[in-house]
Amino acid sequence: MKIARSVILAFLLSAFTAYGQTLTPVANPSVLDSSGKFMGHILGYGPGGYIYLLFKWNVNDDVVLTLRKVPGSALAWGQGILYYQSPDCSGQAYGLDAGIGERFATIGPNNVLYLSAPGALPQQSITTNSVSHPGSPCQAAPNTPAFNTVPVNPTVSLDTLFQGPFRVTNVDQQSVPMLSPLVLALLAGSLAAAGLIIMKH
């Protein structure tokens, strides 16, 4: 019995040693599109397979966008939820403000980027009659309350900027700018809060 235990223990130790030899730190985790174009540094991961990337929208504003890894499929844009007061997902769209970035950003159907107006906007509660979910362009939702929303407007199709599928890689540190530790520290709390919001919806 003791010999059998020793053999099993030795086997497990050798297995862990073999796996440990392939464990390599990722110093600069980044995402590239299918053409090899650099998309951004990974700020962190959220529940449900979400990956957060920081983008510069203009001189004054940064936005955080999400990618999502669905089991059995490639890494793609992580679409958000859009709320409408109309019954057919027309008119003004509203997004759930997770408090990330200097402008609220979410990705709608056909990978269109929706942004809030510049500057801090007061969150508002609305009564929605239709909702656009990931994978479902429009669903009726008569007289449904939505809290902490901000108006958002379509800006650009992300498919014109980056070509999927996307992949995570360890980019050469000299080929792209490094994220400062301060930026990572400031976003850590917001990303954690966003993860909780994503889990609820």
Task: Check residue 34 and give its pLDDT.
Answer: 93
Confirm whether 170 is domain-assigned. no
Overall domain count for the chain: 1
Report strand pairing: 38-46 vs 29-32. antiparallel
The predicted-structure confidence for 127-158, as pLDDT tens digits, reads as follows 999 999 888 889 999 999 998 899 999 999 99
Could you give the CA distance from residue 175 to residue 57 in angstroms, rounded to a whole number?
Answer: 21
User: For residue 114, which phi and psi values (nearest 5 degrees)?
Assistant: -110, 135
Q: Which domain holds residue 102?
A: 39-164+180-200
Could you give the CA distance from residue 136 to residue 111 in angstroms, rounded to a whole number?
Answer: 13
Q: Which residue has the higher pLDDT, 184 or 86?
A: 86
Confirm whether 30 is domain-assigned. no
Confirm whether 82 is domain-assigned. yes
The predicted-structure confidence for 84-133, as pLDDT tens digits, reads as follows 999 999 999 999 865 555 688 999 999 999 999 887 667 889 999 999 98
Rg (CA), the chain: 21
Task: Check residue 173 and give its pLDDT.
Answer: 46
Confirm whether 46 is domain-assigned. yes
Task: Check residue 1 and give its pLDDT.
Answer: 52
Confirm whether 15 is domain-assigned. no
The predicted-structure confidence for 64-74, as pLDDT tens digits, reads as follows 899 998 777 78
Confirm whether 2 is domain-assigned. no
Q: Which residue has the higher pLDDT, 97 or 195?
A: 97
- pTM for this prediction: 0.71
The predicted-structure confidence for 9-64, as pLDDT tens digits, reads as follows 455 445 444 444 677 777 888 999 999 999 988 989 888 888 999 888 888 888 88
Task: Check residue 199 and give its pLDDT.
Answer: 47
Confirm whether 174 is domain-assigned. no
Confirm whether 132 is domain-assigned. yes
**14 Cβ contact list (under 8 Å, min separation 6):** none
